[in-house]
Structure 1
Amino acid sequence: MSFDFSRSHFDLFAQPELFQIDRAALDARYRELQAQYHPDRYASAADIEKRLALQIATRINEAYQTLKSPLARGRYLLQLSGVETQEETNTAMPMDFLMGQMEWREAIAEAKASQNVEALERLNVELRGETDALEAELGALLDRAQYEDAAIAVRKLRFMEKLDAEIGNAIEAALF
């Protein structure tokens, strides 16, 4: 069994190193790789082959999860370009974005306190629209090699991801 662990996620999935990907081709290649390297296919093989199959399957899953998520894909493209997103250390954001975050949190808190599922679902739809727009902006920034601005977009998307989780948790709490 041969597998080159040094290949990029894009190379592994036969995708160009671009933000925009062919999702159908990505999914098809994932199923193909899973069929070829799934550890169950090596259940009766020697221990070393079993371990290798598990390592390969893990790498395939990691690469697939990275490429199918716009945020993770953007982060990975920046990493390939040698740019750190500094998500853990750089929380500086434009003032208008921070003000927007405060407004989102207030709206979520109000809807959550009143257990207003409809309001939470409306917020979720609005957030999805803003997230989609920010993901498109990230793609354009990466395509133009504006990596520092793209890193800021990744940090913004991380905030949006947290808001999405907060809304989801609030909906779940209101329903149960």
Structure 2
Amino acid sequence: MNYFQLFNLPTQFDIDLAELSSRYLKLQRQFHPDKHSAGSERDRLMSVQQTANINDAYHSLKHPLLRAEHILALRGLMLDDEQRSFNDPMFLMQQMTLREQLAEIKTATDPDDVIDHVEAELLQAKKHLLAQLAQALEQDKPEQDQQAADLIRKLKFFYKLQHELELIEQQLKD
């Protein structure tokens, strides 16, 4: 299923999230199971299925990494939870440094300062990689699609680190 077609949006990485939300609400109203409760069993089941498809599509298009993966899937390149190592020494060093900083938070004299520093680094890295990803996906060429796939893999690392940082913050508050 092409999620962009479902929402009648152009197949591109940069989308208007407000427009996406507006179209989501419109589709939800149109296909909500309550609206089809008086219909046949088949109509009710179709409504439930369509609502599930709309929810999945909305979730995927709303999140930049899932949106990028969907674009690549539409182009025939699937990334399905693969594990792949990186040959980028700068990225690997950045990974190690950030992991060390996360490990130091709980014993730091000023954990908030370390948290702020790591958050700033993560934000900057994600912003930079997302811009590169948008550029790569604009090309719609196999070599740029491979580059986009590598960028997605890197971004997944930063999103995972962001989540880990949030868990550490929560533990410090408890």
Instruction: Give 1:23-102 correspondences, 5 Å limit.
Output: 23-85=17-79, 87-102=81-96
Give me the TM-score of the superposition, normalised by structure 1: 0.89
How far the C-alpha of 1:78 sits from its partner, in A, is 0.8
Aligned to 2:165: 167
* Per-residue deviation, 1:30: 0.4
Match of 1:142 in 2: 137
Larger RCO: Structure 1 or Structure 2 (Cα < 8 Å, ≥ 6 residues apart)? 1
Q: Which AA in structure 2 matches 1:77?
A: I
Partner Cα distance (1:132, 1:93) in 2: 21
- Does residue 105 (structure 1) correspond to residue 99 (structure 2)? The answer is yes
User: What is aligned with 2:122?
Assistant: 127
TM-score between both structures, scaled by the size of structure 2: 0.89
* Aligned residue in 2 for 1:3: none
Question: Could you tell me which residue of structure 2 aligns to residue 158 of structure 1?
Answer: 156
Instruction: Kindly provide the amino acid, as one letter, of the partner of residue 32 in structure 1.
Output: K
Q: 2: distance between equivalents of 1:45 and 1:112? A: 58
- Work out the CA distance in 1 between the residues paired with 2:169 and 2:112: 6
Q: Structure 1 stretches of 5 or more lacking a match?
A: 1-5
Partner residue, 2:111: 116
1:175 partner amino acid: K
Q: Is the 8 A contact 1:120 1:170 kept in 2?
A: no
Q: Tell me how large the CA RMSD over aligned residues is.
A: 1.7
Count of residue pairs the alignment pairs up: 170
